[in-house]
Amino acid sequence: RMSRHAKKLRDHDINPCVAETDATTKCMDDNNYNKDLCTDYFLKYKNCRKFWHEIRMQRKRNGVKPEMPTAEERKKILESMG
């Protein structure tokens, strides 16, 4: 059984970077945990976290709830950016 924290991390509405997390984990698994071979994945994950953190802080400052856009809202935000 997954802990509540683990469930939150897997929830696409809460964690905007599930795909990046999974890709990084898969890369590490596939490459015998050699971080050097997965640098691009770590960078994509880091950029994802940074991007959505900024969005969250902006929404918080503007009093927008929820602070983290839902998975559906995030998809629209990304599409609008091209």
Contact 37, 26 (CB under 8 A): no
Contact 68, 14 (CB under 8 A): yes
State the pTM of this model. 0.84
Q: What pLDDT does 81 receive?
A: 92
Map out the domains of the chain as residue ranges.
4-81
Alpha helices by DSSP H, listed for 1-82, are: 4-10, 18-30, 39-61, 71-81
Question: What is the CB neighbour count within 10 angstroms for residue 5?
Answer: 8
| pLDDT digit string, tens, across residues 6-35 | 888 888 888 999 999 999 999 999 999 999
Q: What pLDDT does 23 receive?
A: 97
Please give the single-letter amino acid code of residue 29.
D
Question: What is the CB neighbour count within 10 angstroms for residue 3?
Answer: 8
Please provide the average confidence, as pLDDT, over all residues in the chain.
93
